[in-house]
Chain A
Amino acid sequence: MNATNTSGTARIITHVKETDPMEPEVPFAEVEAVQSKEYIPVIKETLTGMIQRGLDAATKPVFNWAGRNSLFPLHWGLACCAIEFAAGFGARWDGERFGVVPRSSPRQCDLLIVNGTVTWKLSHKLITLWEQMPEPKWAIAMGNCATGGGPFRTAYSVVPGVNKLIPVDVYIAGCPPRPEAMLDGILRLERLIRERRA
């Protein structure tokens, strides 16, 4: 087995039987053809980069506007705050009128509301969920436990503040915060997105 390594972008692996010298080798011309086309990807990258930047400049305000008006939080429940989170989407508060629709898969979400106490046992699962969410994404620490450990900050198993694990944009105080406070936190995040990106 013999690997012919051409430079950088193009790479061809040829399979040569070492036991049989009569076997014809891979035609050299093919390798050369690839090498001569090496400039193509470079040009491609430059062009797409330019187009990307142009497109971004044109579309970012649009996406930003659309994104901040339809924040999809991850539908999960850590602790007490999760019940108030659910109440916030019930009949009385109806969080969905702000375009906030909880989704069960992290792939469909752009907002992680950490609604409860985070333990060290959960920490790497939380980071996995956060990393599975596509960019752009935001995080809200809901309640005192997620903000700084709350009444359990002295415990051996509790992370004193979720900002030790993921970057947090908005903190909501309360133990647990009322549903109004949660919705206010989401509205503040929307304002933050508008001011930061538009």
Chain B
Amino acid sequence: MTDLTLAALLPALESRFGPDVKVLPSRKEVLGVVQVKVDRLVEVARFLHDQGTFTHCALVSGVDWIEHIEVLYHLWSDALKGYLEITVETAPEDPHVPSVTSIWRGANWHERETWDMLGVRFDGHPDLRRVLMPEGYRFHPLRKSFELHEPEELEVKARHV
């Protein structure tokens, strides 16, 4: 049963995972938007990979909404010719999300980048290190609490401290 059409896919997800999966209103550039509870993420991902033909994990990213952190997955299906958007919400303090690298190896560096930029810990990731910033950097720059300044401003501030 690999040939799930889009019309059958989203109801199948809902019937299988019940209240842990919520289908959100879709936009025209993606096939659908699905919100998943954090603890069922790997099961849903496995289901989509094996039975939904979503063989290509295109993008893992995160958004800091201050009250919560949203982790986004964009999956491509060769049969449906489109992207499915999966969103997961976690707490802003010490966020943890299970890793999907066991299903798509391509998610590896995307998860490392999300850890680097937003500080989301991916449980079960084989090698969760910083990828863009040097090891030992203390901040997660894409958090909204991290602000940018002109270099001159910073120099002035340093002089007044």
The reply, when asked whether chain A contacts chain B directly with Cβ atoms under 8 A, is yes
Of B48-56, B79-87, B94-102, B143-151, the stretch lying at the interface with chain A is B143-151
Contact assessment for B134 and A154 in the assembled complex, using a CB-CB cutoff below 8 Å: no
Chain B interface mostly: loop
CA distance A114 to B83 in the complex (A): 41
CA distance A154 to B141 in the complex (A): 13
- Closest Cβ of chain B: how far from A141's Cβ, in Å? 15
**Interface residue A137 (Cβ < 8 Å from any Cβ of B):** no
Contact assessment for A154 and B133 in the assembled complex, using a CB-CB cutoff below 8 Å: no
**Interface residue B65 (Cβ < 8 Å from any Cβ of A):** no
Which residues of chain B from 100 to 153 have any CB-CB distance to chain A below 8 Å in the complex? 132-134, 139, 141, 146, 148-151
Contacts of B150 in A (CB 8 A): 153-154
- Closest Cβ of chain B: how far from A5's Cβ, in Å? 43
Q: Which residue numbers of B lie inside 8 Å of A, CB to CB? A: 132-134, 139, 141, 146, 148-151
Sample of 7 further A-B pairs with CB below 8 A, known A120-B134, A153-B150, A156-B148: A121-B134, A153-B151, A154-B148, A154-B150, A156-B139, A156-B141, A157-B141
Could you name 14 residue pairs across A and B whose Cβ atoms are closer than 8 Å? Answer: A121-B134, A149-B151, A153-B150, A153-B151, A154-B148, A154-B149, A154-B151, A155-B148, A156-B139, A156-B141, A156-B146, A157-B132, A157-B133, A157-B141
